[in-house]
Structure 1
């Protein structure tokens, strides 16, 4: 695509953005609870439109060259992504469910299931590629030093006589197989000659011979024509990729890479233009601006001295220096901020505590009300919560309208926005001069020496008694980040994640979800829904610091599902897409490491400290139910799986917006754990059932394609395989495919096509997920608060519909 094409996409995206901003205001108006279906429909349609807008802004930011447009695009891209996350939380609140049935909304809006896919911005990994390479090199260096010690393998020793006997056995077996094949061919030829002698030679006249040759030749030609017609038809309907599609894709990728190199060149030009503009501003207007700033600061000195009787402290560089003086504040306000930072911090803490208490009371009041009361009360209303990202989106849209007046602007740099406020350029020089002048004024007027700047006092931490100087582990504050990083790698707590993309977690969406919902049935999520939730909850939040700081905070996720469904694959995919570090705090991995109560505290402290310093980070806990066992089994008492429980919940509460650290737990037996403990630790619980028919069909097709097998050119019935493999997980399907498609079988594909019956024997040997196991997981999931709300809501809806039906019958 050319620059003009991207500019047209840029203009059309802003037209769509204006329409969406017009729809935002009606969503804030309250709606009766009885109309929750229409409210849900409007919320879902707004969510889908924002997803499409996010997809367009991602393409534009990845390929547009002009630096100033890209800065505006980056702000809009992050703001739209944050708005998508807000709408997702609203949909969960209204639907009382983590997955949503949007097939009827797609049908009404004329969209396809592909429009449900959550786009992952490409800059997540591109802009931190150098950091990721440094971390990989550091990790590889540490692992290479560990390899001779920890991975030393003992090779089996074989004597010379045993080796000769082994070679002789293999060679004799090979010669025997060749001799058997040769004798079999000789016997076949002898049998053929004997039959010919017994039946006699069949002779044809010239006409019969010509007809026979014509039959064979015409049959051959017809088969060729039929195969060609079938190939062209399959290419036309998109079942087979076009022959030149790979070449076109490579050319398109090459052009995209060229545009990315042009982005780097234009960015360098932009930075050079900024430096030139600033230098020119300093040379031409610098002296006059300095004098004006000095006069204003002197005036501030005089006003503060008239109010308080003495000169104020000059703002420290960490607080912004003279920029704080030029803000729209009175001298009294600036003085209070500088001299009483401790009081303000305590007041803020008190206010925050009061707000937390009020929130807790409000949550308790909400949980006390049942869904039946919400349906019957006339005063209860539904409305969308105010958004933090709408003002940012609106500001970006207004900037676009003010700076792009209709025509396509050139890709060159616009010189007008390069001028920055003058006091920001010269503030450091002026601050040094005015600090010295303030010192002289104090000596001359008040005869007072310079007062040091009072920083907020830190609370004294009492040292624990009973510890000697040489004992105990070295505190992490006295160690460097590199040493802590190496210690976690050596102990196996920091691991290298597998390179897996989120799109490799294959699954199809649920096409009959709305139909089941109308029948008051609870449809189970598909693998597509699980992938979408992980993209929203994990990838989008961890990928950008701006999105994480303003989006609804989610610190932890729990993935619940049978083994083999792909829980660990999703954890690796989140790390791969965001470039996050992977910390493994599974109970089995912690056995024998950091013993004692102090050791556990040190372990959690080091892990969370390194995770914060090397953001983004993912802390994974496999078999998460073991941390919250109702009763620890005898064979696991030595492991002590519950020892990390208290410190983990405390450390999670300290994570604030902007700390891109997420805890992801995986479990296939949540029934063994205490419900309260899991609910306190994990904020979002995602259920992953075994795949349905549509997902199994896509899985078989995708996995066979990964083995370089064209399904359309074989006699393989994918539909039959998807039907037969009901109850099997993606891990089972992959295992069966690998067992069948050996190297020898792949070489035989040209002579012997692949058949569906070959997979059945291997599938029969595997243990499927029985309905009882999945039913127990469903029962557990609907015992969590969100699941209980959904069940109660459906029951109340059914009761309301039966009551209305009875009233209609009475009227008749």
Structure 2
């Protein structure tokens, strides 16, 4: 992206952000709306605005290279994303559902539900440390000189081996050609490949014996096999020319010319028809007569991997240059300004001494180091001469008076604290009363948001600091040196003031001593209160059972055992599903949705869970459970999550872990150590209900499926800290067969709904056009999707792959595809017929999900209260 476009984009985003801040400031002052629909409208509009803002800011952050500006944009992105998640949580609480439908706000902004999915951006990826990334990748991203030389030597060895192999193959090829030529015509080709004779002269003496004994052997070689078909070759005479029949030659030439003409004619006809067909199709699309029926997958702000790494390298270089500039500037300031700064500080303190002596005849107590020393003088937090004079005229307080004063201040402080506590409790009760009545205090929710406050302060500081700086002129992304100088001067001044205070305290005591001598009073040195060093709490360091092992060896051990798996790269576009477009229009009298979610709405839930796995501090669950019938896309979603996060994939399914039954403690220690070192990491458990099975089937006893279950809470979830990018991901097709511990082990449960018409239509359209695009333009996708709507996405995918194989695609032009072929594949081509999931099975999933999801529980309580009120009215 060009510098000009990025600058314009930043200017436009700043305007949008300022408009959003003004809008929020107006909303902070409004009274709590009595209509819950109005509160929902306000929050939904803000949510859509924040989605657009996060998308824009994340894109700007990725393309901002100036170090000081990038720090500002980072704060804005993180705060905006935190507020986005807070608004989403508010909307969920109002909807009493995991799924939020805000179609009216989207229509006003001319957006679709797909535009709300922001988890596509590489800006949210978490960057691993360099050492860990080099272990994961064969080609190291950053290398020192020694590593570069080693890599160059290894590459040269590979090149040498490749050249030797190519030469060997070439020699073998030439030998095969030579041998076949000899077999074909010995006399002719022996002359061609015969070596040139070297002429030399020698003398022969008949009486002289040979110095080297030579055994003369006569070879008779015949490479032609004894076969009757080779008689003509044995007796052939190459000097005899075959008779030429001119009529035969003319006849053969005519046949060849006719064949060539016919082939060319058919080829030109085919090419002309194809060009005409393409032009006709283009005209029909241009005039709006016909549209190509194919899924268009938008990819907002897509960046190639090469461009991303190029930007990362540039940022790394600019960061290193910025750190070097800070170090150089600090050294320069210490060398050039330190003596003068110390002199200025001491002169200022002496002037403070003189001022108090002239006006009061005494010296102000020297500020203690525990109160940052004479910094208090600079910020005017010491007593004025008049205040100090009043303290001199007063009699010194006795111990009892001091004690009473301390108790009085303590009581006042306690009283103020209790008053604030009562006010907070009163405010909380007021908001709870409003919430019970279905009223949301929008003003309080916005004014109490720390994320909004951070955005406002950052934008205000940016407007002040950057008002005299033209960002457009800085196309080389150079840091602003004046700011570096100011910051380092402030740090050096703080450090030097502590040193000067120590010397000036000696001078202060000498002055006090001289004053006491002049006034003939007793001199008593002032006590110095220094800050006590903070005692670091000794934390219990857990025993590392693999302290003598390197991360590389632990990683290779898990990989060789099949615990760490390589996941095929998938993205969210491969999870083909449509969104629910009717839920917002089918609300009941309480403004609650009555239609369940569509399969595409799952992407929103995954986005909420995955945003915290990036580089920003955003809340996220420690564990997720995907439930749904077989072939509903649970494994595909797991692969997508791992691919989008670029995560290390640990497979902890019972098939993998049963062999560690003897030393499970060591195994989990290694897994968590490697997962934390190489985060982001995913700990995957396939069919997680097996960990808490009520009754183990006889065929599963061998792998001991309950082995990992007791260790999930203590050994896996508890060690995962708030900032760790580690998540436990499980799938299940029979969650009801497990004990209640399964619900406690997974914080977030996501139910994959059955296929709806929109999802089924997109599946058939996308999969069939991918396999045979030109022959499926006018196919009856709608009818096919309507009839086979209830089938799972995995069943449809395998059906299309099996039905539209290579042989069937070759016959499509002459033998059009019959929809009954897909139905036949479902019912007869497999060993056991495939049917859609039973309605009772889906009810079972919905019932179990309702008991494990907090919003479903809240909705049931709300409906129970409503029914109780209706009964009372009757």
Indicate the SS of the match to 1:110.
coil
Matched, 1:777 2:848: no
Q: Relative to structure 1, is the Cα distance of residues 594 and 277 closer, same or farther in structure 2, using a 3 angstrom cutoff?
A: same
How far, CA to CA, are the matches of 1:132 and 1:508 in structure 2?
Answer: 38
Distance 1:272 1:521, change over 3 A: closer
Shift in Å, 1:527: 2.4
Q: Is 1:788 paired with 2:857? A: yes
Q: Which residue is equivalent to 1:440?
A: none
User: By how many angstroms is 1:514 displaced?
Assistant: 1.4
**Given that residues 124 and 577 in structure 1 are in contact (C-alpha distance below 8 angstroms), is that contact kept between their aligned partners in structure 2?**
no
1:685 aligns to what SS in structure 2?
strand
Secondary structure of the residue that 1:583 maps to in structure 2? strand
Cα 1:588–1:89 shift into 2, 3 Å: farther
Residue 393, structure 1, aligned to residue 458, structure 2 = no
| Counterpart Cα distance in 1 of 2:737 and 2:343 | 73
Whether 1:569 aligns to 2:636 is yes
SS state at 1:518 partner: coil
Aligned to 2:657: 590
- Verify: 1:284 aligned to 2:336, yes or no: yes
The partner residue of 1:517 within 566, 571, 587 is 587
Specify the SS of the correspondent of 1:782: helix
Where do 1:104-503 residues align within 5 Å?
Answer: 104-125=104-125, 134-137=134-137, 228-234=279-285, 239-240=291-292, 274=326, 277-288=329-340, 384=445, 386-402=448-464, 403-404=466-467, 409-412=472-475, 413=478, 414-419=480-485, 421-422=487-488, 456=536, 458=538, 475-503=545-573
What is the deviation of 1:524? 2.1
3-state SS in 2 of match to 1:588: helix
Deviation at 1:475, TM superposition (A): 1.5
Counterpart contact for 1:40–1:94, Cα < 8 Å: yes
Q: Secondary structure at the match of 1:609?
A: helix
Q: What SS does the aligned partner of 2:659 have?
A: coil
Matched, 1:87 2:87: yes
Equivalents in 1 of 2:744, 2:348: separation in Å?
A: 54
How many residues are aligned here? 646
Bigger mean CA offset, 563-572 vs 286-295 = 286-295
From the superposition, tell whether residues 741 and 273 of structure 1 become closer, same or farther in structure 2 (CA, over 3 Å): farther
Describe the shift of the 1:635–1:425 C-alpha distance in structure 2 as closer, same or farther (beyond 3 A). Answer: same
Task: Tell me which residue corresponds to 1:38.
Answer: 38
Is the Cα contact below 8 Å between 1:48 and 1:115 reproduced in 2? no
Deviation track 1:421-452 (CA, whole Å, cap 9, x = no partner) reads 32787699989999x99xxxxxxx9xxxxxx9
Contact 1:568–1:666 (CA under 8 A) maintained in structure 2:
yes
Other-structure match for 2:150: none
**Which of structures 1 and 2 has the bigger CA Rg?**
2
Q: 1:418 to 1:678 in 2, by over 3 A?
A: same
Q: Secondary structure at the match of 2:80?
A: helix
Name the TM-score, length of structure 2 as normaliser.
0.62
Tell me by how many angstroms 1:91 deviates. Answer: 2.3
Q: Tell me: CA distance 1:727–1:251, structure 2 relative to 1, closer, same or farther (3 Å).
A: closer
Residue 558 of structure 1: SS of its match in structure 2?
strand
Gaps of 5+ in 1: 141-219, 298-304, 316-321, 331-357, 438-444, 446-451, 464-472, 807-812
Among candidates 596, 600, 607, match of residue 535 of structure 1? 607
Deviation of 1:326 (Å) = 14
Name 2:101's counterpart in structure 1: 101
Q: Distance in 1 between matches of 2:646 and 2:571?
A: 11
Q: Secondary structure at the match of 1:610?
A: helix
CA distance in structure 2 between the partners assigned to 1:757 and 1:296 by the alignment = 96
Match of 1:620, SS state, is strand
Following the alignment from structure 1 to structure 2, what is the Cα–Cα distance between the partners of residues 717 and 116? 31
Distance 1:405 1:687, change over 3 A: farther
Task: Show the counterpart of 1:668.
Answer: 733
Q: 1:790-805, aligned counterparts within 5 Å?
A: 790-794=859-863, 796=865
Q: CA RMSD in A?
A: 5.2
| Residue aligned with 2:99, SS | coil
Deviations 1:572-615 (A, max 9, x none): 222222222112222232112142xxx33333333223222222
Instruction: Report the Cα offset of residue 728 of structure 1.
Output: 1.5
Change (3 A) 1:85 1:477: farther
1:20/1:429 CA distance change after superposition, 3 Å: closer
Structure-2 change in CA distance of 1:411 and 1:747 (3 Å): farther
Among 660, 663, 676, the residue aligned to 1:612:
676
Distance in 2, matches of 1:580 and 1:401, equals 39
* 2:754 corresponding residue in structure 1: 690
**CA distance, structure 1, for counterparts of residue 453 and residue 869 of structure 2:** 40
Deviation of 1:729 after TM superposition, in Å, equals: 1.6
CA distance in 2, matches of 1:50, 1:250: 20
Would the aligned equivalents of 2:626 and 2:732 in 1 still touch at CA under 8 Å?
yes
